[in-house]
């Protein structure tokens, strides 16, 4: 294989047909931005939803007079339920500490006794099971109900679930959009490459006449497609990263309870095998190469 020759053929033709090259690079760039943007947005929603789901928690306040033994027995009983993921005990002291954290210690420092009840935080596997699980605690003797009510059991019910449903819907929409845009990107690349090859079909004809084998003709086009795809995808992936990072930064500084997720770059470990953005870039290159091969096919039939 004459790597040097093929490479210089490919680079030379990229330079000569620079208008077409620009068009192809921009096409890949836009496709990558859309695809990458959808993926980043989708992942953020995913994480948001997961953390919301984690917050679907039932607070069970217990009477002050319960013995530690009773508490332990309750905890084990709840843990045994198949729907329950985790149970945390919040002691009276802990409850007071948390309360002080939110309102400030000057409010509580003169209290003669600690008025806050101890509680259990029950986390369930699935937000849909909240009602069922909560209902089991209403009449438990350990629960600190105001007589005549069931206020010893607290959970954020309907709003949270409606929000989760919406996020679920958006999430599916995101995946659908991802697939549509991926297909669109492939079609755009192959159309662009086909156009540039159509402009050079005479060249291909002459190459065949001189006795060039199909692969000899193909390599420069494949390399050309790869380089085009790679450049477009790298630019696109970088833009996505920068915007993603900037938005996350802005969110962190302005809305303190919301945190956006930024895909780590590959050297930061974690994430996809190579990190999302290098994967996108390589994908762009491979798609470009495949586009080059596919588009050449009809000019290489004997």
Partner 1 sequence: MIVFENVSKTYDLGVVGLQDFTCHVGKGEFVFLVGPSGSGKSTLIKLILKELEPTEGRILVAGRNLGTLTQRKVPLLRRNIGCVFQDFKLLPNKTVYENVAYALEVVGEPRRMIRRKVPEILSLVGLSEKTNSLPHEISGGEQQRVSVARAFVNHPPLLLADEPTGNIDPETAVGIMQLLVRINRTGTTVVVATHDREMVNRMRRRVLQLDAGRLVRDERRGSYDQPTDELGEEA
Binding site for partner 1 (CB under 8 A): 2, 5, 12-13, 16, 202-203, 205-214, 216, 302
- What backbone torsions phi and psi does residue 284 show, to the nearest 5 degrees? -60, -45
Q: Which is nearer to partner 1, 3 or 80 (CB)?
A: 3
Q: Which is nearer to partner 1, 251 or 300 (CB)?
A: 300
Shortest separation between residue 11's beta carbon and partner 1, angstroms: 13
- Classify the C-alpha dihedral 54-164-170-172 as positive or negative: positive
Alpha carbon distance, N-terminus to C-terminus of the chain: 22
Shortest separation between residue 300's beta carbon and partner 1, angstroms: 10
The tokens describing 197, both together, are 């090859």
Structural contact between residues 58 and 121, judged by C-beta atoms closer than 8 angstroms: yes
Q: Which is nearer to partner 1, 175 or 198 (CB)?
A: 198
Q: Can you state the percent helix, strand and coil of the chain, rounding each to 5?
A: 70, 5, 25
Q: Which is nearer to partner 1, 15 or 158 (CB)?
A: 15
- Whole-angstrom Cα distance, residue 244 to residue 275? 14
Q: Which is nearer to partner 1, 22 or 258 (CB)?
A: 22
Q: Which is nearer to partner 1, 121 or 203 (CB)?
A: 203
Q: Which is nearer to partner 1, 8 or 50 (CB)?
A: 8
In terms of Cβ atoms closer than 10 Å to its own Cβ (0-12, 13-18, 19+), residue 158 is: exposed
Shortest separation between residue 200's beta carbon and partner 1, angstroms: 9
- Whole-angstrom Cα distance, residue 224 to residue 292? 8
**CA 2 → CA 6, 100, 206, 297, distances in Å?**
6, 75, 20, 22
Q: Which is nearer to partner 1, 161 or 208 (CB)?
A: 208
Question: What is the three-class DSSP state of 195?
Answer: helix
Structural element, H or E, at residue 243? helix 214-254
- Whole-angstrom Cα distance, residue 219 to residue 60? 69
> What is the DSSP-derived secondary structure letter of residue 211?
T
Beta bridge partner(s), residue 90: 119
Q: At what angle do helices 214-254 and 3-16 cross, to 10 degrees?
A: 60
Structural element, H or E, at residue 86? strand 84-90
Shortest separation between residue 225's beta carbon and partner 1, angstroms: 18
Shortest separation between residue 23's beta carbon and partner 1, angstroms: 18
Shortest separation between residue 182's beta carbon and partner 1, angstroms: 34
Shortest separation between residue 203's beta carbon and partner 1, angstroms: 6
Shortest separation between residue 216's beta carbon and partner 1, angstroms: 6
């Amino acid at each position: 294989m004459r790597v040097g020759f093929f490479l210089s053929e490919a680079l030379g033709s990229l330079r000569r047909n620079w208008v077409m090259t620009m068009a192809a690079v921009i096409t890949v760039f836009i496709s990558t931005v859309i695809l990458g943007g959808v993926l980043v947005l989708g992942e953020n929603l995913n994480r948001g939803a997961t953390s919301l789901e984690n917050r679907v928690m039932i607070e069970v306040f217990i009477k002050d007079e319960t013995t530690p033994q009773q508490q332990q027995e309750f905890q084990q009983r709840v843990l045994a339920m198949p729907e329950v993921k985790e149970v945390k005990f919040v002691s009276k002291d802990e409850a007071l500490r948390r309360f002080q954290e939110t309102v400030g210690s000057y409010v509580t420092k003169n209290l003669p006794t600690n008025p806050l009840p101890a509680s259990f935080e029950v986390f369930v596997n699935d937000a849909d099971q909240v009602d069922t699980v909560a209902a089991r605690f209403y009449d438990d003797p350990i629960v600190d109900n105001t007589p005549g009510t069931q206020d010893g059991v607290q959970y954020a019910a309907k709003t949270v679930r409606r929000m989760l449903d919406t996020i679920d819907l958006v999430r599916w929409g995101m995946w659908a959009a991802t697939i549509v845009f991926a297909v669109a990107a492939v079609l755009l690349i192959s159309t662009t490459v086909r156009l540039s090859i159509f402009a050079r079909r005479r060249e291909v004809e002459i190459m065949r006449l001189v006795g060039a084998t199909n692969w000899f003709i193909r390599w420069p086009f494949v390399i050309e497609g790869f380089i085009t795809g790679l450049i477009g995808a790298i630019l696109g992936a970088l833009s996505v990263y920068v915007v993603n990072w900037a938005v996350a930064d802005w969110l962190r500084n302005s809305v303190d309870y919301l945190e956006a997720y930024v895909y780590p770059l590959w050297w930061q470990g974690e994430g996809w095998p190579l990190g999302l953005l290098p994967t996108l870039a390589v994908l762009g290159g491979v798609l470009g190469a495949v586009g080059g091969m596919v588009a050449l096919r009809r000019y290489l039939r004997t």
